[in-house]
Structure 1
Amino acid sequence: MQKTICITGATSGFGKACAERFAREGWRLIVTGRRVDRLQELTDQLHGVPVHAVQLDVRDLAAVKTMASNLPEGFRDIDVLVNNAGLALGLEGAHEASLDDWETMIDTNIKGLCYLTRCLLPAMVARNQGHIINMGSIAGNYPYPGGNVYGATKAFVKQFSRNLLTDLIHTKIRVTNIEPGLAESEFSIVRFHGDKDKADAVYKGTQPLTPVDIAEIVHWVTSVPPHVNICTVEVMPVCQSCGPLAVHREA
């Protein structure tokens, strides 16, 4: 039977690559994003499979509820939810960071993910079938200067994923937290508020992960036997490692 996947933040990066990957397998696609023009481009590109595109800001609870309750026939039984919408903003220290940036990251990475999960999970529980895939980050495991609130939001995603598993142990629903390391998409362009030179410098001299790499991992965790749950996937490019603990020495 044809399966249905819902992908948030599907107009770029990991989300777009996931949409393209699952379209090749013939899945029905629910794709969401804030930019109407990009949603239309994506819909036009994904010809040959059923696509339901929804302009959606995951921070808007009323809009998320409306989307969940107004899914058209054929898209209501969601097999996989990919909570991909998220972002990092700024790289300043906590004493200099923008409170607006902090609030946007919390509202998107935490609250938006919670909204989608809470609105779509009951139907999965009723059918005793489904898979929640949350897009975390190694920033939720390893701190770095300037990571402050972004890393904290991804630590939330990790713990929320673990707690979902405990709540759903009586069901056949799976929960996976994907934790990418250095990956080149529009991530750094967004982080540096459109400064492409700063964004390009992040990846200089490296071979980072790509959105296609992450999409392959997302596809893999959905394709293992139904009794198997891949709880966490931490993935880095070979040029990256968790570093030694920092020590500040007085002059």
Structure 2
Amino acid sequence: MIVHDESGAALTELTFERLTPDGGVEAIDRMLAEEVPVAIEFNGIGYAVLMATPSDIGDLVLGFALAERLIGPTDGTFDVDTHRTAQGIVVRATLPQASMPALIERVRHRASESSCGICGIENLEQAIRPLPRVTTQVRADRAAIFRALDALAAHQPLNAATGAAHAAAWVSPDGAIRLVREDVGRHNAFDKLIGAMALSGADWEGGFALLSSRCSYEIVEKAVLSQCPLLVTISAPTALATERAAEAGMPLVVLARSDAILLRSSATLP
């Protein structure tokens, strides 16, 4: 897979006035996370505009294409060219020709969704599409989860600087953090992580994904489609997210904090 990444800086420094209840005023400098439009074209067709942090754009687009089911993990080369403009970033990605039917079908549904919301039974079926079963086995126990939770902050430089970024981490079975991607959007952070892993040919190796966000059904779908053996999120899940995880046979840990984690009663850990 070939990626030409011309993304820009992810940080901007601005001056604010710090106001206190007693009438005090103090000028302070703050680092802010960049958020720019990223316009994605697949095979010359305008597909989506994401609001994202302008870093690891090649990873983002690859992970997004996998999550959209436009390609599979073994579909060959994936060429991405990114171009910075005054308005944001334009990404031109070339998918394999075998992806064209799926691309055209998804573009048709996305066009109807953007024009009038989710309309009709056909689009409802597209919104909640069947998921494959997760066939990979988790080898991480609760000690590994707590170990990763303790270590995550040290792998979040963008969030440390701004307080405004989510992280998605690939964690090994022993709780060591192998790879992290950050973004102002939780979906983008996870797409970047999955894309980076796909680009390097890595798999989960019995480990798990750790996200600094709530667990929505889209996050579950991305994890399942990447054959993640266990999804751990720091915040709470939605009811649909837990249902989708159970249907796919993927264990789910939520509200993961340093003092306790919640494991769905239908799931097990080693």
TM-score (norm: length of structure 2): 0.29
Q: Which has the higher helix share?
A: 1
Q: Which has the higher strand share?
A: 2
TM-score (norm: length of structure 1): 0.31
Q: Which of the pair has more CA radius of gyration?
A: 2
